Structure 1
Amino acid sequence: MGDAQSVHVRVRAAALQMLGYRVTLITPRKGEVVACPQVSPEDCLVSAGLWGKLGTRLAKLRAVHTIFARYRGDATHIHFAQGLWAGLGMLFGAKPLIVTVMGGDVLFREQGRSSWADRMLTRLMLRSAELVTAKSEHLASVIRSLGVHNDRILVMYWGVDRQHFKPSQGGEMRRALGLAPDSFVLLSSRFLQPLYNVDKIVEAFPLILRRVGHAQLLILDCQAEPNYRMAIIRRISELRLEGKVRIVPPVPHERMPEIYAASDVVIGVPSSDGMPMTVLEAMACGKPNVVSDLPHYQELLTNGKNVLVCPPLSASIAEAVCQLASEPELQARLVENGFRTVEQRADLAKDLVRLDERLTPLLDGRPRMQPIHVRLQVAALLALAALTQRPGPSL
């Protein structure tokens, strides 16, 4: 279960299918490219009659129940351990339960927009799971603090498909984007949302131009918050950067290697994070990264070895970029060590072998439902959480 419009959900569902599992992705919103069948409530929606909004919600809830009656399968895998959709997976799905946390679902204090009921549901979900996958040791420690025993946690980066993400020439994409061959191209690769401090990258750019006059900045227009996007556009105009900073339309995941290839440096400086896949993908494509000084990055990312680290402040970002632009030896070192990091510690093929070893014994038994007392708790927490009216994928 997961949002098929999330590239992480799509890639992981496809990876499980590659392992030989028969996968059906149950999703609140269908995605454009998914390697396995996907089912949403609209596929099983019954008429709401004259009940109005309440009738529509009840009809959609019945549709979800119908989906699970048809596609319950031998196990339930929930991607993102928070919210109504995940709770329904627990309520109607089969055990064993596998949960993949993504960061914002468990980092309550850092990214705390969840209600008390949401947090309690996440705790219950994680404690009820037979297996929880975490993208970093930091997330694993958070999961342990929520009451999950260590032997039920698998730390895996859901690494990079190295057959797809690999070094290549970026000339064709540069020409398509209208970039000069000799431009020093910076790529802001994270979501266009306040958490990712894209505004700080824009503020840093005039400082960069003073020392690297041929620099260009590409900002991916990915999962943008409309108000934040408009603020970024206004700031670009105020700084008179229209010819130097470009917001690039969303790029399909399968074409991201072309965007990395067209770039010289990839920048991602969020205030909070799990373990960024964009950094690993850029490393696999042979590109150096500038990243935030988040302490838990240190388990995989080392300043001056495979990345440059800086606080998410404009002056610091500018200094890091200018250092890379002026030191080819530093660029080469980050690229070489970054590529080796992915090869040794974040290779999707190797991660899937480890995951398969954990899944196989879980699927030996007969599938079953969650105990009735757990389902009653889930139902109560879903009812409370619904009262908060949090935005996002919903029924």
Structure 2
Amino acid sequence: MKICFLAGANSIHSYRWIKFFADKGYEVHWISLVPNIFGNIKGVEFYRFREFPAKPLDILFNAIPVRKLIRKINPDILHAHYAGVNGVLGALSGFHPFVLTAWGSDILIVSKNRLVKLFIKFALKKADLITCDAEHMKEAMIELGADSSKIKIVYFGVDIRKFSPGLRDEKLIEKLKIQNCPAIISLRNFDPIYNLETLIKSIPLVLKEVPEAKFIIAGRGPEEEKLKNFAKNLKVLESIRFVGWISNEELPAYLRTVDIYVSTSLSDAGIASSTTEAMACGLPVVITNTGENDKWIDDGENGFLVGAKNPRALAEKMVVLLRNRILREKFGAEARETVMEKNDYYREMEKMEKIYQNLI
């Protein structure tokens, strides 16, 4: 089977999806408008097209050359990830069978723009099959005109072999200067949608009860300096470690070394990959009750759910966990069981493999 992907080469989600099929021995071609941050992948032919400052220009100037390349490759399956530019380019290629995977913000947020909404409706209409990772995403796409019979739920999945409980990394503890300190980690990027301001607002409240607590805030994005200044103004900067972007290879060590994972996102499609990776490592999680998070976290059983933009509630739940090792261990064990049962990367990709085979 020959598969051609239209997907951003700066996303770990694209990389993991594509690498699975390359590792299975399929002929894989990867088209992207952004640079490949992962380097060469054995069995993958990579093509880069120019990215323009405005999304309509991406479509205008790339539609014909991308169409020509797809025709030349002549794959058995064309699969676009993200219903925006990639989805539209896939739809405009006229190639079939055409699979489209919606990621979340493309449907829930970006499609609120009138022009973008027209583009996305066009891509959804042209797709032979659509995947997403949440029922409310499915409903949103049906409202945009997608055929419900063409939509399948396929999770991005977490590699439960790689992300698993283990010993703390002593070198990392020393590097982060968190010896004898409980540590909380956040892995969402510095964008408004992830609402890291709420996390930083909660820190003084946590420190009042657990003064030695440390916060590992990883990620990148446009609000980085603003958030650092906010932390400085709240006089909590010394309790925070801004560590930048953590590679997927380094991430398991970080998750095994900390005590709690938090996410303050205002919107999620399905459950965030970083949340499931933390759960797979046996970490207790405190996350916002948004999207379908309540289908993965049974509040008080395998984690805590809190309302968005509620720093006091967030702090209270973190303090409860910081003071109760047995509860942390219980939540962590239950969380890993949840992920193993419902969100195994290999099982989800094998599900996708069967979907491809049925389309040919």
- Normalised by the length of structure 2, the TM-score is 0.89
Which sections of structure 1, spanning at least 5 residues, go unmatched? 43-54, 364-395
2:255 corresponds in structure 1 to 260
Match of 2:107, SS state, is: coil
The Cα of 1:112 is off from its aligned counterpart by 4.5
Residues 74/295 of structure 1: CA separation in 2 closer, same or farther (3 Å cut): closer
Match of 1:95, SS state, is: coil
Partners of 2:23 and 2:58 in 1: how far apart? Answer: 37
1:387 corresponds in structure 2 to none
Seq. identity, %: 22
Greater gyration radius: 1
* Contact 1:190–1:196 (8 Å) recurs in 2: yes
The Cα of 1:323 is off from its aligned counterpart by 0.8
1:124 corresponds in structure 2 to 122
1:226-241 to 2 correspondences below 5 Å: 228-241=223-236
**Higher relative CO (CA 8 A, sep ≥ 6), structure 1 or 2?**
1
2:37 corresponds in structure 1 to 32
The Cα of 1:73 is off from its aligned counterpart by 1.6
1:1-395 to 2 correspondences below 5 Å: 1-33=6-38, 35=41, 36-41=44-49, 63-83=65-85, 85-92=86-93, 94-107=95-108, 111-112=109-110, 114-175=112-173, 177-222=175-220, 224-225=221-222, 228-275=223-270, 276-294=272-290, 296-312=292-308, 313-363=310-360
| Cα offsets for 1:305-332 (capped at 9, x unmatched) | 2221111311111111001111222212
* Contact 1:87–1:121 (8 Å) recurs in 2: yes
Partners of 2:165 and 2:58 in 1: how far apart? Answer: 50
The Cα of 1:3 is off from its aligned counterpart by 0.9
Tell me how many residue pairs correspond in the alignment.
345
* Contact 2:63–2:93 (8 Å) recurs in 1: no
* Contact 1:2–1:78 (8 Å) recurs in 2: yes
The Cα of 1:215 is off from its aligned counterpart by 0.6
| Cα offsets for 1:225-246 (capped at 9, x unmatched) | 1xx2221011111122222112
Match of 1:200, SS state, is: helix
Partners of 2:148 and 2:73 in 1: how far apart? Answer: 30
| Cα offsets for 1:15-49 (capped at 9, x unmatched) | 2323443211100012221533321126xxxxxxx
* Stretch moving more, 160-169 or 142-151: 142-151
Match of 2:292, SS state, is: helix
AA matched with 1:148? A
Which sections of structure 2, spanning at least 5 residues, go unmatched? 1-5, 51-56
Partners of 2:251 and 2:113 in 1: how far apart? Answer: 35
1:366 corresponds in structure 2 to none
2:3 corresponds in structure 1 to none
The Cα of 1:195 is off from its aligned counterpart by 0.8
AA matched with 2:77? A
